[in-house]
Amino acid sequence: MKINPAARARAISSLAPGELKRALAAVPWIKCLVLGLALGFFAVFLLLPLIVVFAEAFRKGLDAYWAAISEPDARAAVWLTLTTVAIALPLNLVFGVAAAWCIAKFEFRGKQLLVTLIDLPFSVSPVVAGLVFVLLFSTQHGWFAPWLQAWDIKIIFAAPGIVLATIFVTFPFVARELIPLMQAQGREEEEAAIVLGARGWQTFWRITLPNVKWGLLYGIILCNARAMGEFGAVSVVSGHIRGQTNTMPLQVEILYNEYSFSAAFAVASLLALLALVTLAVKSWVEWKARQALDFNDDKQDIAP
Amino acid sequence: MRVLFSLRFAASLAALSALTFLAPPVGAEVSLLNVSYDVSRELYKDINPAFAAEWRAKKREAVTLNQSHGGSSKQALSVAAGLEADVITMNQAPDIDILVERGALVAADWRRRFPHESAPYTTVSVFLVRKGNPKGIKDWADLARPGVSVIIPNPKTSGNGRYTYLAAWGQALRKNGDDAAKAREFVAALFKNVPVLDGGGRGATTTFTQRGIGDVLVTFENEAVLIANELGKEAFEVVYPALTIEAAAPVAIVDKVVDKRGTREAATAYLNFLFSPAGQETIARHHFRPRDAAVLAQYAARFPAVRTFTVEGELGGWANVQKTHFADGGIYDQIVERR
Q: What is the pLDDT of residues B194-219, one digit of tens each?
A: 998 887 788 888 889 888 899 999 99
Looking at this protein, which amino acid is placed at residue A111? Answer: K
**Statement to judge: residues B181 and B317 lie in one domain:** yes
**Statement to judge: residues B292 and B312 lie in one domain:** no
**Statement to judge: residues B129 and B236 lie in one domain:** yes
Angle at which helices A72-105 and A261-302 cross, to 10°: 30
Strand partners, B236: B130
Q: Is residue B58 part of a domain?
A: yes
**Residue A172: exposure state from Cβ atoms within 10 A (0-12, 13-18, ≥19):** buried
pLDDT greater at residue A37 or residue A13: A37
**Statement to judge: residues A49 and A28 lie in one domain:** yes
Strand partners, B309: B245
Average of pLDDT values for B109-137?
Answer: 94
CA distance B254 to B76: 11
**Statement to judge: residues A176 and A286 lie in one domain:** yes
What pLDDT is stored for residue B157 in this prediction? 77
Q: Is residue A12 part of a domain?
A: no
Q: How many domains does chain B have?
A: 2
**Statement to judge: residues A190 and A280 lie in one domain:** yes
Nearest to B6 among A89, A93, A205 (CB): A205
Tell me the per-residue pLDDT of A59-102, one tens digit each, with 9 for 90 and over.
Answer: 888 998 998 889 899 999 999 999 999 999 999 999 999 999 88
Which residues touch A263 (CB under 8 Å, ≥6 apart)? Answer: A64, A68, A71, A74, A255
Q: Is residue A189 part of a domain?
A: yes
Average of pLDDT values for A189-216?
Answer: 87
Q: Distance from A82 to chain B by nearest Cα, in Å?
A: 9
**Statement to judge: residues A263 and A119 lie in one domain:** yes
CA distance A131 to A146: 19
Q: Is residue B209 part of a domain?
A: yes
**Statement to judge: residues A253 and A123 lie in one domain:** yes
What is the three-class DSSP state of A92? Answer: helix
Q: Is residue A1 part of a domain?
A: no
**Statement to judge: residues B293 and B313 lie in one domain:** no
**Statement to judge: residues B69 and B115 lie in one domain:** yes
A-facing residues of B in 311-330 (CB < 8 A) are none
CA distance B24 to B7: 30
What pLDDT is stored for residue B5 in this prediction? 46
Residue of B nearest to A145 (CA): B82
Residue of B nearest to A159 (CA): B23
Q: Give the domain range for residue B169.
A: 123-246+307-337
**Statement to judge: residues B185 and B97 lie in one domain:** no
**Statement to judge: residues A83 and A191 lie in one domain:** yes
Q: Give the domain range for residue A104.
A: 60-302
What pLDDT is stored for residue A11 in this prediction? 57
Give, in order, the Cα–Cα distances in Å from A66 to each of A178, A256, A263: 41, 17, 9
What pLDDT is stored for residue A142 in this prediction? 82
Q: Is residue A41 part of a domain?
A: yes
Q: Is the Cβ–Cβ distance between A68 and A74 less than 8 Å? A: yes
Q: Is residue B20 part of a domain?
A: no
pLDDT of A241 higher than 80: yes
**Residue A286: exposure state from Cβ atoms within 10 A (0-12, 13-18, ≥19):** middle
What pLDDT is stored for residue B73 in this prediction? 81
pLDDT of B15 higher than 50: no
Interface probe with A: pick from B34, B78, B98, B209, most Cβ of A within 10 Å: B78
pLDDT of B7 higher than 90: no
Whether chain B has a CB inside 8 Å of the CB on A47: the answer is: no
Whether chain B has a CB inside 8 Å of the CB on A106: the answer is: no
Q: Is residue B18 part of a domain?
A: no
With a pLDDT cut of 70, the percent of chain A lying above it is 88
**Residue B185: exposure state from Cβ atoms within 10 A (0-12, 13-18, ≥19):** middle
**Statement to judge: residues B130 and B184 lie in one domain:** yes
Q: Is residue B176 part of a domain?
A: yes
Average of pLDDT values for B316-323?
Answer: 90
Q: A290: pLDDT confidence band, cut at 50, 70 and 90?
A: confident
Q: Do B20 and A258 touch (CB under 8 A)?
A: no
CA proximity to B116, closest of B299, B332, B280: B280
pLDDT of B22 higher than 50: no
What pLDDT is stored for residue B4 in this prediction? 45
Q: Is residue A8 part of a domain?
A: no
Tell me the per-residue pLDDT of A171-193, one tens digit each, with 9 for 90 and over.
Answer: 999 999 999 999 888 888 888 98
Whether chain B has a CB inside 8 Å of the CB on A260: the answer is: no
Q: Is the Cβ–Cβ distance between B71 and B95 less than 8 Å? A: no
Q: Is residue B25 part of a domain?
A: no
The distance from CA A273 to its chain's CA centroid, rounded to whole angstroms, is 15
**Statement to judge: residues A126 and A247 lie in one domain:** yes
What pLDDT is stored for residue B21 in this prediction? 39
Give, in order, the Cα–Cα distances in Å from B281 to each of B63, B100, B119, B295, B296: 21, 31, 15, 6, 8
Q: Is residue A104 part of a domain?
A: yes
CA proximity to B163, closest of B202, B220, B118: B220
Q: Is the Cβ–Cβ distance between B65 and B53 less than 8 Å? A: no
Q: Is residue B218 part of a domain?
A: yes
What pLDDT is stored for residue A19 in this prediction? 66
- The CB density around residue A284, as the number of other CB atoms within 10 Å, is 12
CB < 8 Å to A153, chain B: none
Whether chain A has a CB inside 8 Å of the CB on B80: the answer is: yes
**Statement to judge: residues B154 and B39 lie in one domain:** no
Average of pLDDT values for B273-281?
Answer: 95
Q: Do A90 and B230 touch (CB under 8 A)?
A: no
Q: B49: pLDDT confidence band, cut at 50, 70 and 90?
A: very high
Tell me the per-residue pLDDT of B132-176, one tens digit each, with 9 for 90 and over.
Answer: 899 999 999 999 999 999 999 988 878 889 999 999 999 999 999
**Statement to judge: residues B146 and B236 lie in one domain:** yes
Average of pLDDT values for A5-17?
Answer: 57
CB < 8 Å to A86, chain B: 16-17, 19-20
CATH number at residue B95: 3.40.190.10
With a pLDDT cut of 70, the percent of chain B lying above it is 91
Q: B39: pLDDT confidence band, cut at 50, 70 and 90?
A: confident
pLDDT of A216 higher than 50: yes
Q: Is residue A10 part of a domain?
A: no
CB < 8 Å to B70, chain A: 240
**Statement to judge: residues A190 and A213 lie in one domain:** yes
What pLDDT is stored for residue A295 in this prediction? 67
CA distance B172 to A161: 48
CB < 8 Å to B202, chain A: 257
CA distance A124 to A136: 17
Q: Is residue B277 part of a domain?
A: yes
Q: B247: pLDDT confidence band, cut at 50, 70 and 90?
A: very high
Q: Distance from A12 to chain B by nearest Cα, in Å?
A: 33
Q: Is residue A263 part of a domain?
A: yes
**Statement to judge: residues B135 and B176 lie in one domain:** yes
Question: Across B91-220, where does the E strand assignment appear?
Answer: 121-130, 150-153, 197-198, 216-220
Q: Per 3-state DSSP, what percentage of chain A is helix, strand, and coil (rounded to 5)? A: 80, 0, 20
**Statement to judge: residues A183 and A143 lie in one domain:** yes
A-facing residues of B in 196-255 (CB < 8 A) are 202, 206, 230-231
| B210 half-sphere exposure, CB direction, 13 A CA radius | 11
B-facing residues of A in 213-252 (CB < 8 A) are 213, 239-244
What pLDDT is stored for residue A110 in this prediction? 87
Q: How many domains does chain A have?
A: 2
* End-of-domain residue from the set A10, A31, A57: A57
User: ipTM surpassing 0.85, yes or no?
Assistant: no
CB < 8 Å to B16, chain A: 86, 89-90
CATH number at residue A212: 1.10.3720.10
Q: Strand B87-89 and strand B197-198: pairing?
A: unpaired
Residue of B nearest to A85 (CA): B20
CA distance B275 to B116: 9
pLDDT greater at residue B226 or residue A24: B226
**Statement to judge: residues B172 and B231 lie in one domain:** yes
CA distance B250 to B110: 9
Q: Do B24 and A79 touch (CB under 8 A)?
A: yes
**Statement to judge: residues A164 and A274 lie in one domain:** yes
Q: B26: pLDDT confidence band, cut at 50, 70 and 90?
A: very low
pLDDT greater at residue B137 or residue A146: B137
What pLDDT is stored for residue A21 in this prediction? 65
CB < 8 Å to A264, chain B: none
Nearest to A239 among B22, B68, B103 (CB): B68
Q: A160: pLDDT confidence band, cut at 50, 70 and 90?
A: very high
Q: Do B105 and A210 touch (CB under 8 A)?
A: no
**Statement to judge: residues A84 and A209 lie in one domain:** yes
Average of pLDDT values for B231-258?
Answer: 91
What pLDDT is stored for residue A14 in this prediction? 58
What pLDDT is stored for residue B156 in this prediction? 84
B-facing residues of A in 130-189 (CB < 8 A) are 134, 137-142, 145, 152, 154, 156-157
Q: A298: pLDDT confidence band, cut at 50, 70 and 90?
A: low
**Statement to judge: residues B330 and B207 lie in one domain:** yes
**Statement to judge: residues A148 and A296 lie in one domain:** yes
